[in-house]
Chains A and B, each alone.
Chain A
Amino acid sequence: MARVRFPRAAEVDIMLLLEGTFPFVSGGVSSWVNQMIRGFPQWRFGAVFLGSRREDYEDFKYELPDNLIHLEEHYLHGDKLKPVVTPCRGDAQGFEVIRELHEWFLNPQQGSLPEGMKNLAFYRDSRHGVDFFQFLHAERSWDFIAEKYRTRCTDPSFVDYFWTVRNMHMPVWQLAEIAANLIPARLYHTVSTGYAGFLGALLHHATGRKLLLSEHGIYTKERRIDILHNEWILDRRNPLQKDLTEVSYYRELWIRFFETLGRFCYDAAGTTISLFEGARQREIADGATAERTRVIPNGIELSHFSPLRRLRPMAPPPIIALLGRVVPIKDVKTFIRSLRILSARLPEVQGWIVGPTDEAPHYVEECRRLAESLAVDDRVHFKGFMDPRELFPQIGLLALTSISEGLPLVALEGYAAGIPLVATDVGSCRQLVEGLGVEDEALGHAGAVVPINNPQAVAEACLGLLCDPGAWQRAQAAAVARVERFYTQERMFTEYRQLYEEGLAPWQA
């Protein structure tokens, strides 16, 4: 798709704060953002896209809706212009606030978030806090970092500590700058905590306008997992200093940093929305106030998919599709392994992996190699991006072997097109397949739920549905009934409309 110009406006009704999603990255969250903007044509939307580096993204993956009248992009890890170095002592009061903040995050039960941190001037005005220059070059900044290193850091290298702290915190000042220069909006809506959530919190505190937080995945949890597995995070402890049961100090530091951003956002959000009850509980555990949380499941436009049911062959074709980005979290490998097992019992079976392959090329390569080592490379097809409406009539089953999910839109779209689902027991997948509550459960199973990392269970569940027309028909009927009753776009829009109207209401002092 060709890169289009960024729309600009002087003000908007709702400003969406997006980190690594719409419009540069395709996927469930991005599709949901697109759906939301188009679903409320009566309001003027703006969006701030936060990314890592410009070169990490290609063109827009979505046609911009007409009512998205403002879009800006910012990159947090590109080359930044640094201020000229001159001697500076630093604002004593400002650093005292930072000290308080540190204490608060070490003991979040005691007291509340320091007020100073909520003020944009704190990050931008050297007379009222710690501006970017002071953070980089003030003596007090150095003293503070050195003191924290001496008292807390268990890694032997001060140089590594110094640069880790510096690089980690730099985006905070950049976000303050973005917040200060952003056009006015009547309501802020962030789709994650993290950097976008922090920006939302700053905007809320600076303007007094409401902040909504809709979490599809739990950002803090996902970052924690990423950090635990990243190879680039240093660990310079020697064998005598290392306790194998301890995470390296820098990993801990990164984890705490993202937890901090999360708490800052939860503290500011008027309403925190999750997709299912499990996610809501997790948010509460991570610092969200229970009374300000609620669940709004995803919903889809049924009319886009229900006509596809008529295009399906009578018997389900032995084609199983995994629809999603080819990235580790989708655990495509388990899907490929299950095809090895399936092929022995259902020789004509095929596995289609439908989704973009540009996000984690190394993982795509690993998947191809795995298919080869399992001698199923002739029946595993990487289809790249496909329009689901073109795909659904051709397949017999949808498979989701992810190790982490929220409430996957593809499952709902598949249901509406009359395709049962075999999914791992993550996120709200069990609720999607088996139902939640008496009325929902009475509809029956819309497929099967399997444990993660268990190709045998995936294969058996797929066989059970593909080789038993009766079971497949029952699952299809349950899928259609469930999506039509509980996961419609109208239902989701009604709940969000109410939240938007409350948020957009003139501010009451």
Chain B
Amino acid sequence: MSWSHLLLYALLSQAAAVLALFSPYPPEIQLWLFVAAHLIASLLLSALLLAVMPHRFVRRRSWVLLLFFTISFFIPVLGGLGLVGDMIYFRVTRKAANRPEYHSLKLPPFLQEGSLIAQGMGEGGAWSRLRTLDLPRPQRLKALLAVSAVGGRKINQLLRLATGDTDDEIRLLAFNLFDRQEKVISQTISDNLGKLRTATNPLQKAEVCRTLALSYWEMVYNDLAQAELQNFFVEQSLQYARQACELGGEEPAMSLLIGRIYLRRGQVEEAEKMIRKALALGALPARTLPYLAEIAYSRRDFQALSEYLRQEPSLRHKPGIGPVAQFWGDSSWQE
């Protein structure tokens, strides 16, 4: 039963009590009818007022109810009307005090900083800013921060350039960004060297060796080491790749890696053999053909190079090699 229904009954009871006094019944009956109806009205009004009052005003509810009832019962009609007035007041003010939901708040003004469109910065922009020594430091730092979020070998070259900067802050930031990348791979290598010591099963060992081979290569590929240290990583990668093949059998990823290492060392014949083996073992043509094309180029065999790149149409759309595949894939270069 809703609050408004109860209020209606209360008012009807109060009206009935008043009408009872003007009824044609004997006075004692009138009195009993009045008391009964007035009692019902008083109880309902007291309970309704208590219900609409804010909780913080009502500590001892039963006493408050008794107070309202007493007012309503012993001050006939006027007491009841007073309670109704209070009820209306609390209903109205409580409704107003309801907490507005967030959607009803006005939008805050745009902050000056927030209204600016973020200016991205590509690799080229970062290079040019870092190389411009007379640019203010904040701008050059921004360039460094922009590229640090990207990662990759080109970025590492840029970070290396920045570690030689004349500005201390640029230098230290670049160093830290560089170190952060190297740390992740070093951690993997270290963890796997530990696993290799405890592994007993040849297949387990093969798996660890594969990870080690790829991790050492990752150091080289990401340009995280230079000169002799890079050569060391290459040797380590080759050693573990071979070990992985010995322990776990030939497989395309390791064959391709060994082929790439040979290619890097200028051992073209061995490289071709390993890359073809990888292809035969199921390596994706899109991954292997570019290296065969590179070998063909080093031999100045442009016809073979062109054929390799035409064999895999998806190469034309790959970043990096795409334009190369498009150029050599057309016959226009022969003209």
Chain A residues in the interface with B (C-beta under 8 A): 150-152, 154, 221, 224-225, 228-229, 241-247, 282, 328, 331, 333, 337, 340-341, 344, 366, 369-370, 372-375, 403-404, 426, 451-456, 459
Within 8 A of A (CB), among B215-261: 225-229, 232, 236
Contacts of A369 in B (CB 8 A): 186-187, 189-190
User: Which of B119, B145, B229 has the largest count of A CB atoms less than 10 A from its CB?
Assistant: B229
Contacts of A372 in B (CB 8 A): 190, 193
Contacts of B172 in A (CB 8 A): 225, 403-404
Cα A166 to Cα B74 in complex, Å, equals 59
Interface flags, B185-225, vs A, CB<8A=1, else 0: 01101100100000000000000000000000000000001
**How distant is A210 from chain B, measured CB to nearest CB, in Å?**
30
Q: Which 6 A-B pairs have the closest CB atoms?
A: A243-B118, A369-B190, A245-B142, A245-B146, A373-B189, A456-B227
14 contacts between A and B (CB under 8 A): A152-B113, A224-B169, A225-B169, A244-B118, A245-B119, A245-B145, A246-B142, A341-B229, A373-B190, A374-B232, A403-B175, A454-B163, A454-B226, A459-B228
Interface residue stretch chosen among B30-38, B176-184, B311-319: B176-184
A451, B142: Cβ atoms closer than 8 Å: no
Within 8 A of A (CB), among B13-55: none
Please name the residue on chain A nearest to B182 by beta carbon.
Answer: A333
**How distant is A252 from chain B, measured CB to nearest CB, in Å?**
11
**How distant is B169 from chain A, measured CB to nearest CB, in Å?**
6
B169, A455: Cβ atoms closer than 8 Å: no
Chief secondary structure at chain B's binding surface: helix
Contacts of A451 in B (CB 8 A): 163-164
A340, B229: Cβ atoms closer than 8 Å: yes
**How distant is A475 from chain B, measured CB to nearest CB, in Å?**
23
Does chain A have a CB within 8 A of B6? no
Known: A244-B120, A344-B228, A372-B193. A452 touches B149 (CB 8 A): no
Cα A341 to Cα B233 in complex, Å, equals 11
Does chain A have a CB within 8 A of B78? no
Number of residues of chain B lying within 8 A (CB) of chain A: 40
Known: A246-B118, A370-B186, A453-B160. A229 touches B176 (CB 8 A): yes
**How distant is A267 from chain B, measured CB to nearest CB, in Å?**
22
Does chain A have a CB within 8 A of B124? no
Contacts of B186 in A (CB 8 A): 366, 369-370, 373
Contacts of B101 in A (CB 8 A): none
Please name the residue on chain B nearest to A153 by beta carbon.
Answer: B111
Partner of B171, one of A224, A245, A337, A403: A403
Within 8 A of A (CB), among B134-149: 141-143, 145-146, 149
**How distant is A221 from chain B, measured CB to nearest CB, in Å?**
6
Cα A162 to Cα B176 in complex, Å, equals 29
Please name the residue on chain A nearest to B228 by beta carbon.
Answer: A341
Known: A228-B173, A245-B142, A245-B143. A453 touches B149 (CB 8 A): no
Contacts of B176 in A (CB 8 A): 225, 228-229, 328
**How distant is B190 from chain A, measured CB to nearest CB, in Å?**
4
Please name the residue on chain B nearest to A366 by beta carbon.
Answer: B183
Does chain A have a CB within 8 A of B168? yes
Contacts of A404 in B (CB 8 A): 168, 172
Cα A245 to Cα B122 in complex, Å, equals 10
**How distant is A322 from chain B, measured CB to nearest CB, in Å?**
17
Contacts of A340 in B (CB 8 A): 228-229, 232
Cα A38 to Cα B34 in complex, Å, equals 104
Cα A228 to Cα B173 in complex, Å, equals 8
Known: A373-B186, A451-B163. A244 touches B193 (CB 8 A): no
**How distant is B119 from chain A, measured CB to nearest CB, in Å?**
7
A244, B171: Cβ atoms closer than 8 Å: no
**How distant is B316 from chain A, measured CB to nearest CB, in Å?**
30
A154, B113: Cβ atoms closer than 8 Å: yes
Does chain A have a CB within 8 A of B108? yes
Does chain A have a CB within 8 A of B114? yes
Cα A97 to Cα B164 in complex, Å, equals 43
Contacts of A150 in B (CB 8 A): 108, 111
Contacts of A228 in B (CB 8 A): 173, 176
Contacts of A366 in B (CB 8 A): 183, 186-187
A245-B119, A366-B187 are known contacts; what are 6 more A-B pairs with Cβ within 8 Å? A228-B176, A244-B121, A247-B145, A366-B186, A372-B190, A456-B227
Cα A18 to Cα B67 in complex, Å, equals 70
Within 8 A of A (CB), among B100-116: 108, 111, 113-114
Partner of B119, one of A243, A282, A455: A243
Contacts of B229 in A (CB 8 A): 337, 340-341, 455-456
User: Which of A221, A241, A243, A370 has the largest count of B CB atoms less than 10 A from its CB?
Assistant: A243
User: Which of B119, B146, B168, B190 has the largest count of A CB atoms less than 10 A from its CB?
Assistant: B168
**How distant is A456 from chain B, measured CB to nearest CB, in Å?**
4
Cα A333 to Cα B182 in complex, Å, equals 11
A244, B173: Cβ atoms closer than 8 Å: no
Cα A370 to Cα B232 in complex, Å, equals 13
A452, B169: Cβ atoms closer than 8 Å: no
Please name the residue on chain A nearest to B233 by beta carbon.
Answer: A374
Cα A225 to Cα B228 in complex, Å, equals 30
Contacts of B179 in A (CB 8 A): 328, 333, 453
**How distant is A215 from chain B, measured CB to nearest CB, in Å?**
14
Cα A495 to Cα B136 in complex, Å, equals 36
A373, B111: Cβ atoms closer than 8 Å: no
Within 8 A of A (CB), among B145-174: 145-146, 149, 160, 163-164, 168-169, 171-173
Cα A431 to Cα B280 in complex, Å, equals 60
Contacts of A151 in B (CB 8 A): 111
Cα A442 to Cα B255 in complex, Å, equals 58
**How distant is A137 from chain B, measured CB to nearest CB, in Å?**
24
**How distant is B106 from chain A, measured CB to nearest CB, in Å?**
13
Please name the residue on chain B nearest to A425 by beta carbon.
Answer: B164
Known: A244-B121, A366-B186. A221 touches B168 (CB 8 A): yes
